[in-house]
Amino acid sequence: MIIKRYIVDNMNEAMIKIRYELGNEAVIVSQRKIREKGIKGFFRHKKYEVTAAADDKPKKNNEEIIKKDELRNEMDELKSMMANLLSKQSEVVDNTKKSKGKKLTINKKLLENDIPDEIIEDIYSKVKAKDGKNLRTNSKQFEEEVNNIIKNIIKTDTGINGRVHVLIGPTGVGKTTTIAKLAGLYSLYKNKKVGLITIDTYRIGAVEQLKIYANILSAPFGVILTVKDIPEVMKTMEDCDLIFIDTTGRNSKNAMQVSEIRQYIDALKPDGIHLVLSMTTKCKDIKRIANDYKIIKYTSLILTKIDETDTCGSILASLYYANVPVSFLTTGQNVPDDIQEAKTEKLFNLIMGAEQ
C-alpha cells in the first residue's frame, strides 16, 4: 500500500496528480483545508491537503513500463526480422526472375518453334543427368548438349526398303498425293517399275484420284475392295519392283476404323508401313495420333505440308512420340517434285527454325 500526501490549490488539481502518480484505483483517504504557517500564510489563499492511498500502483505502473519497453524491443526486433525477410524474399524473386530469364534465352528457340514443354523438360533433364547439376542453363555447353539430344531423337531411314509399302494416316494429310510423288520419284528418277493400289473405296473420288496418277505414270493400278481381293490384286503386280498402297484416311480417335485398316495390313504383310502426318497438326494431336496408330505397327513417318508451317516443333513431336525414323518430307502440292528423302541435318534445322 502506498500513501501519499498532496498540497493543492483545489480538489481538481489533487485528482489529476493522484491519478497520474497512483493510478485510477487510488482512493482519497483524507482531505482538509490548510493555511501555510507564519504571517505570510495568513494573507495567502487557502490550500488543501489531500491524502491518497493505492495498492502497489506505482510498482505496477513501473512493471507496465518495463513490460512496455520489453514489448517495444520485441516489436523492434520483429520489425527488423521482417525487413530482413522481405529483402531476402525480394532477392529470391529477383534471382528466380534472373534464372527464368536465362532459361528463357535457351528455351526461346525451342518455345518459338512450338516444341512441347513436355519434350523440352525431358531434354533438359537428360542434359542435367548427363553433365551433372552444375552445368549452367545459359552456357554454350548446355546449348550444345540440348542440340545433341535433339539430334539423337531425330532418326531417318532414307529410301524404301522392300517391295510393298502402305501409307496410313488421318484424313487429308496428303497420303494419295504422296503416293503419286513416290511413284514419280521411283519410276521417273530411279527407274523402278512401280505399281499403285488403293484400298480407299470409302471416299468418293478416291479411286479416281490415284488412277489418274497411275495413268500419267503408265503404272499398273489395282483396287482392293475386301481383304479377300488381296492375293488376286497382288498377283497383277508381280513384275513390279515397288508397290505403293493407298488407304482411307482415318480419324485415329475412332479405334474401330483404325483396326479396320489393320485387318488389310495384316493380310498384305507389307515391308513398310508409313504413317503420314501433316506438320500443320498441333503437337498435342500428333501425340495422340502417333499413339492411336501404334496398333498398326508403322515402321516410318512421312511428314507432309512442311511448306505450310512456320514452326516445325511438330517434326520433333512426331519423332519423339512415334519413335520411328522419318523416311520422307513433302513440301508442296507439285507431283512429283515436292518430296525429298529425310536427312538429319535438314530436320534439325527445320526443328530449330533455322530453315523454312
Ligand X SMILES: Nc1nc2c(ncn2[C@@H]2O[C@H](COP(=O)(O)OP(=O)(O)OP(=O)(O)O)[C@@H](O)[C@H]2O)c(=O)[nH]1
Please name the helix (run of DSSP H) or strand (run of DSSP E) that holds residue 252, with its range, or none. none
Please state the closest distance from residue 173 (CB atom) to ligand X, in A. Answer: 4
Q: How far apart are CA 263 and CA 261, in angstroms?
A: 5
Residue 36 makes contact with ligand X by CB under 6 A: no
Do β-strands 221-223 and 300-304 pair in parallel, antiparallel, or remain unpaired? unpaired
Identify the bridge partners of residue 52 per DSSP, sorted by sequence position: 4, 28
Residue 58 makes contact with ligand X by CB under 6 A: no
Residue 106 or 311 with smaller CB distance to ligand X:
311
Q: Which residue has the cell 484420284?
A: 209
Distance of CA 214 to the CA centre of its chain: 46
Residue 275 makes contact with ligand X by CB under 6 A: no
Q: How far apart are CA 285 and CA 118, in angstroms?
A: 14
Q: How far apart are CA 74 and CA 80, in angstroms?
A: 10
Q: Is there a contact between 307 and 332 (Cβ–Cβ < 8 Å)? A: yes
Residue 151 or 343 with smaller CB distance to ligand X:
343
Please state the closest distance from residue 116 (CB atom) to ligand X, in A. Answer: 23
Residues 101-160 that bind ligand X (CB under 6 A): none
Residue 176 or 278 with smaller CB distance to Mg ion:
176
Please state the closest distance from residue 232 (CB atom) to ligand X, in A. Answer: 23
Residue 309 makes contact with ligand X by CB under 6 A: no
Please state the closest distance from residue 157 (CB atom) to ligand X, in A. Answer: 19
Please state the closest distance from residue 166 (CB atom) to ligand X, in A. Answer: 13
Residue 206 or 233 with smaller CB distance to ligand X:
206
Residue 165 makes contact with ligand X by CB under 6 A: no
Residue 331 makes contact with ligand X by CB under 6 A: yes
Q: Which of 273, 299, 338, 350 binds ligand X (CB under 6 A)?
A: 338
- Closest to 178 in 3D by CA, of 345, 14, 340, 292: 340
* Beta sheet of 221-223, edge-to-edge order: 221-223, 194-198, 242-246, 164-168, 272-278, 300-304, 326-330, 339-341
Q: Which stretch binds Mg ion (CB under 5 A): 14-22, 150-158, 171-179, 338-346?
A: 171-179
Q: Which stretch binds Mg ion (CB under 5 A): 20-28, 148-156, 172-180, 324-332?
A: 172-180
Residue 145 or 246 with smaller CB distance to Mg ion:
246
| Torsion from C-alpha of 125, 126, 132, 133, nearest 10 degrees | -10
HSE-CB of 232 using CA atoms within 13 angstroms: 8
Task: Tell me if the bond preceding 220 is cis, omega within 30° of 0.
Answer: no
Q: Which of 173, 233, 290, 347 binds ligand X (CB under 6 A)?
A: 173
Work out what residue 114 binds among Mg ion, ligand X, none; the CB cut-off runs from 5 to 8 Å by kind: none
Residue 208 or 238 with smaller CB distance to ligand X:
208
Please state the closest distance from residue 195 (CB atom) to ligand X, in A. Answer: 18
Q: How far apart are CA 277 and CA 194, in angstroms?
A: 23
Q: How far apart are CA 214 and CA 291, in angstroms?
A: 32
How many CB atoms sit inside 10 A of residue 243's CB?
26
Please state the closest distance from residue 147 (CB atom) to ligand X, in A. Answer: 27
Q: Which of 113, 176, 178, 304 binds Mg ion (CB under 5 A)?
A: 176
Judged by the rule CB under 6 A, the positions of this chain that interact with ligand X are 171-177, 200, 203, 206, 249, 304-305, 307-308, 330-333, 338
